[in-house]
Structure 1
Amino acid sequence: MKLNRFFIPACLILLVHTGAAAQSVGKPKLVINIVISQMRYEYLERFRDNFSENGFRTYLDSGVNFTNARCNYMQTNTVAGLATLSTGTNPAGHGVASESWYNYTTNDSINLIADDKVKGLDCEEGENRFSPLNLTAATLGDRLHESDPKSKVVAVAEDPYSAVISGGSTGSAFWLDPGKGQWVSSSYYFENLPFWVKKYNEKRFASSLLDREWVPDKSFAAYKNTDTTVLNFSARPSGFKNFFRSILKIFKKEPEKYDLASLLYTPFGNMLVTDFAREAIILEELGKDDHTDLLTVCYDSPRLICEYFGPQSIEVEDMYYKLDREIGELTGFVQAQFKPGEVVLVLTSDHGSSNTYREQSRIPGGQFNVDQFKLIMNGFLSAQYEPGNWILGYSSRQLYLNREMIYKYGFNLAEVQARAAAFALQFRGVSGALTSTDLQSGAFGRGYGEKIQNSFYPKRSGDVVINLMPGWIEQREHAVSLSGSLYEYDTHIPLLFLGSGVPAAAVERDVELSDVAPTLARIMQIPLPDAVTGKVLEEVVK
């Protein structure tokens, strides 16, 4: 009896100790953010049965799936989403709400990443002069590098905006030059393009893809979607390349210069990213020492394909089945390079997308003509005050007024803004309008006002911010689906964690894109980025 009395508590202590040890996970050697641009959460469920075992389903079955992750702001575009992901705060905190804005003092248009003080590396003169000059908040990568200068921060993306924002101020960034079909960077990051990148470009992988055809993976009946534009399901598919060469006039211009633009509108754009990301992991020796490294891999082709064909198209669905294999190859490659517990992978998106715009559709929706809006608004203000150029510009649902004229004539800025906002409500497709004065002086605790305020950055935002009705998008040539709204289709995104100590679970509570950076900071055991407002996702770090 004495043996049993002491044996049971001892066993309990041993079990508790063993369980605690099993849950104790050290810092990962490598953290990878995989960002699929313009991916709705619903794709994971809608296409799940046709996904392979090794791609998206690996994250769904073996990782933490946050089923209700959203962007809690209105301007759901790529630059805002990536900045939110990397800084852990909304656009109101990091200041990146659009690719460009206007300086009210000089009336100049300012581009987010354009920098005349740097030069593009291994590209045509004057091209790819990009840097993080106009980023205002430190990123997760910046904080990692500050905590450990030997840690590496690398960003890979087709689009220079995606690469520069993800790389932050202290990391390195690589993006595609659509002229030559090569991976490039700028003198902000390197004196010369790294030798391994030069050698990689010599393979001319992009040019080898120009002669391939986009052939559907499945029979027509196997797809969930039904709209199709260029994919041919006849016995002899005509392919995708001829469509773009005849309609968009995209073709090989010179023997030594290739136009990559056509590839970015096909699944081959995703292939380019996966292949280069693998090369970066190997030749940058990411995760090969005790200093945690951070890699961000952005797939921009899904956004371009969705904008052109729409989320109800077979082209988008087929692209996701091919991307599923790319994700599987990249994930499998990473897992083969490291021991269990050494890598954490995050799979998410910068934003979703609107439904496919169809002129004859019975579902409410439409296209908002920005040029017409500016022209009529200028005429209205000229009639109300003095004839002149009252509109400085428009960007991402923001109207910029010519404040120089307002001050010149001694008009009240708040009054002019209020009249412009009231008149904006008369336009078809506009459901709401708020002025910068309203957004600075008031606090919106819920509704569309809160989401607009979460996107508002006083030094860069417009005088009047408009919200379009559900289903409405800004009119753009060759685009039937866009993002940029505060509605479910634009804000509900995938967010999944896989790897080091991460349990398999589906979490239904509401979380935000801004929660990723503080969660990864906790996992990497570094201080939070400076502007963080998001919360640590306890389901991942327990």
Structure 2
Amino acid sequence: MKKLVAYCVLSCAMAVNAQKKPKLVVGIVVDQMRYDYLQRFKDKFGSKGFNKLISEGTLFENGHFNYIPTYTAVGHSSVYTGTTPSDHGIIGNNWYDKELKKSIYVVDDENYKTIGSSSNEGKKSPKRLVASTVSDQLKLAQNFKGKAIGVAIKDRSAILPVGHAADIAYWFDGGNQGKWVSSTYYAKDLPKWVQQYNQENKLVLDEYLNSPWVTQENLAHYHESTLDNKHFEGTFKNEEAPVFPHNLPALKEKNGNYSLLKTTPHGNTMTLDFAKEIIKNEALGKNKEYSDFLAISLSSTDYIGHKYGPASKEIEDTYIRLNEDLDDFVKYLNRKVGNDNYVLFLTADHGVVHVPHHLIENKLPAGYINGKAIYEQLIDFTFKKYNTTKIIENVSNYQVFLNHAEIKTLGLSLEKVQNELVEELIDYPMVYKAVSAKTLQRAEFHKAPLSLLQAGYNQKISGDILITLTPSIISGNAKTSTGTTHGTGYNYDTHIPILFYGAAIAEGKKVKAPVNITQIAPTLSNLLQIQEPTMSSLEILEEVFAKSNN
């Protein structure tokens, strides 16, 4: 009987502990991280960093984005709101505003000013994000107690994750500034400790800029990547070839001075170093009554990936270095916050396609498309068909925006014009699918890519026609283009890691079933015992709650 009582006490204690709210949630989004990097660089990671999170946490091996377009602002918004662009209202980094008749940037807001520097980099806010984020819901649930802070090199990657009610978001002002800045949307001035940190940190940034970027390990041991000198990789201004070492001291003047650090692994290091200072100075995870939220985005992986591509030596070196930084950051969390007091999740905002030239060189299908040529073809088509050049108002982000007023003036049917343009576009080389707004509003698609286009279509702000290209085709010039990009619904852009680690998270569990990125926010809401974000998916990742593999 005593054994039975003892067992009950132990099991009940474990159940209570499993439901204990974490004192701190740390979100890490690695910008442009493909899932296969975990496998390609596994041996280079050793037992630290990524491999430590995998062995001691829960890994979802088949996590995907469930919409098009897979861009940075869209990805961060979807992770933290638990929904897709069709609902949260972020359809790109930039997009054509049908009301303003111009292209807008996702977080620009002239109502606010910069705090922390003399530049205009702080004229930002989250006003275009329609849905709430999980950190917004945490603030609401705690009567706006506890802290919610975002940090990233990119402004959009710092602002959108922590939503509307954040205490503050920080991003990096490069150029001649070299400072972490914010917006008067959050506060009148930077905290004193940040002002001091910016002054003292200049010495560290100068040290980075005044030393060449050399590989962490012997370049000859980088077997997971292609040759160092490839014609399809980008170069810095005044750099002859895309090869190691990259002579930062000689390049800084022509490449934006402190902005140059964004396209080196130092950008990730300085972001995580600043995140440590935030944890320390804001006492995150130390409040006995309330939980805190820290959203970190590591942007340099994206800058480097765009320039050199996923097969490059630069990407391999970046992830080897990031693995060390990540391991150091987790150790810091364990010391400062305590192993049982925080939950950390790690994911990406999108993946990336291999540089098309690299694929072509290895006999794989790929290529380049001229976006301007598509626009000109459509103008020519509408002139011949409707005797006007005013029907096409804008073509951007693989969307066609029509001039509704002109169509009405001509006495044409909007739906018929949309359908006729779809029929025209589908005959263009490298266009795989084209679908009209009216069709997306009326039909319900269940198979990619049309289902992904539908999840990315926002009735209020998206265009009249949405396009997706054939796989491994990107905008550019086949002769002169270097580097690569992302944005599609193909696996290379949608398949990303989803990792949970920390208090009450199952250890050593690998989940093979397919899951969506929009399940992260409701899972965090469940962990925090709060209401889900306003438009969130209600599907949680149940596997993270288990205490064993049984």
Relative to the length of structure 2, the TM-score reads 0.91
Matched, 1:240 2:246: yes
The answer to whether the 8 Å contact 2:432/2:469 transfers is yes
2:306 equivalent in structure 1: 307
1:251 equivalent in structure 2: 253
CA distance in 2, matches of 1:87, 1:53: 33
Alignment of 1:21-420 (within 5 A): 21-25=13-17, 26-148=20-142, 149-171=144-166, 172-179=168-175, 180-203=177-200, 204=202, 205-216=204-215, 217-229=217-229, 239-241=245-247, 245=251, 250-251=252-253, 259-290=257-288, 291-358=290-357, 360-361=360-361, 362-420=363-421
| CA deviation string 1:439-462 (max 9, x = no partner) | 111111223111111111111111
- Following superposition, the deviation at residue 110 of structure 1 comes to 3.0
The answer to whether the 8 Å contact 1:98/1:395 transfers is no
Matched, 1:487 2:490: yes
Shift in CA distance, 183/345, structure 1 to aligned 2, threshold 3 Å: same
The answer to whether the 8 Å contact 1:27/1:292 transfers is yes
- Following superposition, the deviation at residue 229 of structure 1 comes to 3.5
The answer to whether the 8 Å contact 1:433/1:466 transfers is yes
CA distance in 1, matches of 2:248, 2:180: 25
- Following superposition, the deviation at residue 11 of structure 1 comes to 2.2
The answer to whether the 8 Å contact 1:163/1:173 transfers is yes
Q: Which amino acid aligns with 1:403?
A: H
Q: Which amino acid aligns with 2:411?
A: G
Find the residue that maps to 1:473 and give its secondary structure: strand
- Following superposition, the deviation at residue 221 of structure 1 comes to 3.6
Shift in CA distance, 206/308, structure 1 to aligned 2, threshold 3 Å: same
Q: Which amino acid aligns with 2:278?
A: A
- Following superposition, the deviation at residue 406 of structure 1 comes to 1.6
The answer to whether the 8 Å contact 1:310/1:357 transfers is no
Shift in CA distance, 103/340, structure 1 to aligned 2, threshold 3 Å: closer
CA distance in 1, matches of 2:343, 2:257: 36
Structure 2 unaligned runs (5+)? 234-242
Q: Which amino acid aligns with 2:157?
A: S
Shift in CA distance, 416/124, structure 1 to aligned 2, threshold 3 Å: farther
CA distance in 1, matches of 2:282, 2:248: 38
Shift in CA distance, 117/479, structure 1 to aligned 2, threshold 3 Å: farther
Identity of aligned residues (%): 31
- Following superposition, the deviation at residue 13 of structure 1 comes to 4.4
Find the residue that maps to 1:24 and give its secondary structure: helix
Shift in CA distance, 275/67, structure 1 to aligned 2, threshold 3 Å: same
Shift in CA distance, 243/442, structure 1 to aligned 2, threshold 3 Å: farther
The answer to whether the 8 Å contact 1:244/1:262 transfers is no
Q: Which amino acid aligns with 1:90?
A: T
- Following superposition, the deviation at residue 58 of structure 1 comes to 1.0
Structure 1 unaligned runs (5+)? 1-6, 232-236
Find the residue that maps to 1:405 and give its secondary structure: helix
| CA deviation string 1:231-288 (max 9, x = no partner) | 9xxxxx962135982xxxx5179xxxx6323211111111111111111111111111
Find the residue that maps to 2:115 and give its secondary structure: coil
1:517 equivalent in structure 2: 521
1:3 equivalent in structure 2: none
The answer to whether the 8 Å contact 1:100/1:395 transfers is no
Q: Which amino acid aligns with 2:127?
A: L
Find the residue that maps to 1:454 and give its secondary structure: helix
Matched, 1:12 2:4: yes
- Following superposition, the deviation at residue 391 of structure 1 comes to 2.7
- Following superposition, the deviation at residue 534 of structure 1 comes to 4.4
- Following superposition, the deviation at residue 344 of structure 1 comes to 0.4
Relative to the length of structure 1, the TM-score reads 0.92
The answer to whether the 8 Å contact 2:213/2:248 transfers is no
Q: May I ask how many residue pairs the two structures share in their alignment? A: 522
Find the residue that maps to 1:467 and give its secondary structure: strand
CA distance in 2, matches of 1:228, 1:16: 61
Q: Report the more deviating stretch, 299-308 or 125-134.
A: 125-134
The two structures, once aligned, show a CA RMSD in angstroms of: 2.1
CA distance in 1, matches of 2:23, 2:58: 20
- Following superposition, the deviation at residue 299 of structure 1 comes to 0.4
For residue 507 of structure 1, the aligned residue among 508, 511, 521 is 511
- Following superposition, the deviation at residue 506 of structure 1 comes to 0.8
The answer to whether the 8 Å contact 2:280/2:336 transfers is no
